[in-house]
Amino acid sequence: MGEKIFDSSFESLLEIASEYSQNDTKANYIETKHLFRAILNNNHKIIEYIQQCSGNVSKIISDIEQESIIKEETGNDQFSFTFEQIIETAEKETKCIGLEKITTELIIVAIMKHKNNEVFRVLSKHKTNSDRLNFLLLKDYYNGQRIVGGKVQFPKGYKEKKTLSNNIKNLKTLNKYGKDITLNAQLGKYTPAYERDSEIQRVLQVLSRKSKNNPVLVGEPGVGKTAIVEGIALEILKSKNSKFKDLNIISLDIGSLIAGTKYRGEFEERLTQIIQEASSLKNVVLFIDEIHMIVGAGGVEGTVDAANILKPALARGDFQLIGATTTKEYKTYIEKDLALERRFHPIKVEEPSLESTTQILIKAKKNYENHHRIKISEREIREIINISNEFIKNRQFPDKAFDILDEAAAVASLEGDKVLLEKHIFYTFEKIFGVTSDLYNKKTYRLIQNIKHELIEVFDQVALNQIINILKKYNSPFGKRVEPTTLYLSGNSETIEDFSTIISEKLHGKDPIIINAASKLEEATAYNIFNQNYSINKSSLAERIKQSPYRVIVIRNIGFASNQFLDYIVTLIKEGKVKDANDNYFTLSNCLFVFATDCESQHGTKAIGFVNNENYNNPAIDDNNRLSELIGSKIYLRYSNIYIQKRWNSFIEQINYVINAENLNVKIRKNIKSLSEEDLTQIDIKTYEGRLQEKLDQILLLNDLNGSYEIDLKDKEFIVI
């Protein structure tokens, strides 16, 4: 167990536990149950606590002695793996509280935290109130500290905190409906808000202001707004600033405040009491997550809502408040009430960059390793970041990366692996997002080559090469699309649908989504097709994109579509997103739109680009003119505008990150990186982006992916060396 310091009673308890282990024919080492039995048989205070929380202690001891519970994993020659983990947790609790030695109470607290041990399972079987037990075990601690020898001991770098427990009798309502975030931080329940130092300092600056000193964190779901508040609590613990060293952040649950209010005025009374209690202590700051909920909360006929109750107190500066909400909800609810909006100071929380997210996961991976009991390498973390960035467009970092990491680690743990592998990540991603692993494990280009062989009898060589090039761009990991990829085909409708089915099944393992534009002529109907009201196989397009963001969407008979339909299609492609019934947007950037027209039946002309086309001499310009006439110039002009026009430096940064994530031995020379943005027009940037992507795609197509390559720029052309 390493060099850990225990109190004087632990050594004798360990000897007794060792005797229990020797008498246990099913155990070869000291397990958690042996130590717990030793504690119960020698510590009357712990027995008293358990009796208050679950009742019959003798039955609990009997069950622990006799029940055959899943055997714990071996840690070393003397202790089980779970036993060692519990001692490590007890040591962390000891450091957070400020003690020099691990106590018996903290060992029980650690056992209750590790729910995968036999003692916890027996206590749960007897319906032990774990919250009550933890309270009794920690009640001797003063403000999160333990009094030892008449003195309060504190962790290094931390100062004494005055928490709600000092004034508990005067703060009954706030104690009932609030949670002391600062105290929880003191007890080690939160991890630091990595890579969020600037946001934390910004909140502290706003709290220091004389007026308008109520910060509201505004950002998309999943960017880590609540984690920032927890990080602020940890920062306050270390603060030497007199303004913050005694500050306590209390989280207020609006839902709990409303729950159980049967009569008019009951909610107002609760909230008013909380305002009075918070105002009575100048070292209290309230935190309301989803702060937009105060608008209309508790408001019924003849009463006022929470927002109108809070406004006068905030205007007078009676107390301070930290809020958190999404950008959409802040605009919808807070900004509409100008009097309320004036009381707050919004702080924008942006999604972290790829590198920042990587550092966040690297610093936090230890928590996941301890929970799942596996090892997680930095390489696998970068793989998760890269896959999340490329394929999950409707969610934000770091939340989406943490989800994949947690799920993949769970898969590895259940399979009995001790290390998180690439196969666990691929399996997780395929199950959650329905994207075949071939799409992101470097087999995509081989798939496209196979598709080319299957289509050689359908398309002529020129048209087929153009289609394959578009598919390569569609699946390229380099560059970041906002608009969906578009492909225009004319010919027999059944042949086009067969082609779309081949593409969709090979790349995504799903059938394509097919919409007939000829039967949907009105503008309102066009909107409904792509948004909430039009049912495609019993679910809307938005819903299907939500479930599986990588789809092939075929628009049949585009030549028969009305002008209103075409206008809406242009807008849809330009915005690159679709909306569901709840006004939630889902990106279409991962979709391939195939616009199909049966030119022979619609206009009596020959097919464009197909093999069976008599007297077809492949006049490219003439084909383009005919295609523009068939599907309308508004849509046709979108054909070349596939990738977003980005600044050159950010584009190079994105390319370098993908190269590192894919473990490619590719070097981009300095003369490319140092291209002056001032000397490049938007057209130049877009042209260079396309050419550089083509060269990188060529490297991926080579059989020897382990080779070493350099890309240089000469006479406005990229060359591979």
Sort strands 215-218 and 345-348 into parallel, antiparallel or unpaired: parallel
Query: Cα 225–228–232 angle (5° rounding)?
Result: 145
Band of pLDDT at residue 242, cut at 50, 70 and 90? confident
What letter would DSSP give residue 248? E
- For range 178-194, the mean pLDDT: 81
- Position 227 scores a pLDDT of 94
pLDDT in tens, 580-616: 877 788 888 888 888 887 644 444 444 444 434 444 3
Domain architecture of the chain: domains with CATH: 8-152 (1.10.1780.10), 164-348 (3.40.50.300), 354-432 (1.10.8.60), 444-636 (3.40.50.300), 648-720 (no CATH)
- Position 491 scores a pLDDT of 64
Residue linked to tokens 């929970």: 371
pLDDT in tens, 510-565: 889 888 887 654 554 555 656 544 444 446 778 888 878 888 998 888 777 777 77
- Position 498 scores a pLDDT of 80
Kind and range of the H or E run holding 590:
none
- Position 612 scores a pLDDT of 40
pLDDT at 60 over 70: yes
Q: 404 near 428, Cβ under 8 Å?
A: yes
pLDDT at 5 over 80: no
User: What does the alpha-carbon distance between residue 635 and residue 484 come to, in Å, rounded to a whole number?
Assistant: 13
- Position 711 scores a pLDDT of 85
pLDDT in tens, 665-697: 888 887 777 775 555 665 566 677 778 888 887
Residue 166 tokens read as 């000092």
Q: For the chain, what is the mean pLDDT?
A: 76
Most distant CA atoms of the chain, gap in Å? 102
Half-sphere exposure of 182 (CA within 13 A, CB side): 26
User: What does the alpha-carbon distance between residue 420 and residue 558 come to, in Å, rounded to a whole number?
Assistant: 48
Helix (H, G, I), strand (E, B) or coil at 340: helix
State percent of the chain over pLDDT 70: 74
pLDDT in tens, 76-94: 457 777 888 888 888 887 8
Band of pLDDT at residue 226, cut at 50, 70 and 90? very high
- Position 446 scores a pLDDT of 66
Poorest-confidence range of 34-48, 117-131, 189-203, 464-478? 464-478
- Regarding predicted confidence, which is higher, 618 or 249? 249
pLDDT at 340 over 90: yes
Q: Of the candidates 476, 389, 380, 371, which has an alpha carbon nearest to the alpha carbon of residue 426?
A: 380
Q: 504 near 551, Cβ under 8 Å?
A: yes
- For range 647-661, the mean pLDDT: 72
Helices 378-391, 354-372: axis angle to 10 degrees equals 120
Q: Of the candidates 244, 341, 339, 324, which has an alpha carbon nearest to the alpha carbon of residue 285?
A: 244
- Regarding predicted confidence, which is higher, 202 or 103? 202
For residue 398, whether the previous peptide bond is cis, meaning omega lies within 30 degrees of 0, is: yes
Band of pLDDT at residue 140, cut at 50, 70 and 90? low
- Dihedral of alpha carbons 676, 678, 683, 685, sign: positive
- Position 490 scores a pLDDT of 67
* Phi/psi at 252 (5° precision): -110, 130
pLDDT at 709 over 90: no
Predicted TM-score of the model (pTM): 0.62
The distance of Cα 332 from the centroid of its chain, to the nearest Å, equals 24
Q: Of the candidates 667, 681, 679, 661, which has an alpha carbon nearest to the alpha carbon of residue 718?
A: 667
- Position 689 scores a pLDDT of 75
pLDDT at 155 over 80: no
pLDDT in tens, 489-512: 766 666 778 888 888 888 777 889
pLDDT in tens, 99-115: 778 888 888 888 888 87
pLDDT in tens, 351-408: 999 999 999 999 999 889 888 989 999 999 998 998 888 778 778 999 999 999 999 9
Beta sheet of 666-668, edge-to-edge order? 666-668, 709-714, 717-720
- For range 59-64, the mean pLDDT: 79
- Regarding predicted confidence, which is higher, 334 or 141? 334
Poorest-confidence range of 258-272, 328-342, 503-517, 633-647? 633-647
Which one of 255-259, 273-277, 468-472, 479-483 scores highest in mean pLDDT?
273-277
pLDDT in tens, 369-378: 888 989 999 9
CB atoms within 10 A of CB 604: 7
